[in-house]
Amino acid sequence: MTQNIRTSKLFNLISAGLAFLLWGSWAYVMNSGESAQQGVVAALTQGTASFMITLFMVQAVTHLFHRFDRPLVKVVVPALIVICFTGFCLVNVHTLMGTPRIIATILPALMVAFSFCMFTSWRLLRIHQQQGATQYE
Kindly report, residue by residue over 53-85, the tens digit of the pLDDT: 988 888 899 899 989 988 899 999 999 999 999
Is 28 within the bounds of a domain? yes
> Which helix (H) or strand (E) is 79 found in, with range?
helix 71-97
Number of domains observed in the structure of the chain? 1
Dmax over CA atoms of the chain, in Å, equals 57
Is 4 within the bounds of a domain? no
> What's the pLDDT score for residue 136?
47
Confidence bin at 7 (pLDDT 50/70/90): low
Task: Please report the sign of the dihedral spanned by the C-alpha atoms of residue 5, residue 7, residue 9, residue 10.
Answer: positive
> What's the pLDDT score for residue 112?
92
Is 1 within the bounds of a domain? no
Could you list the residue range(s) of the whole structural domain that residue 37 is in? 9-135
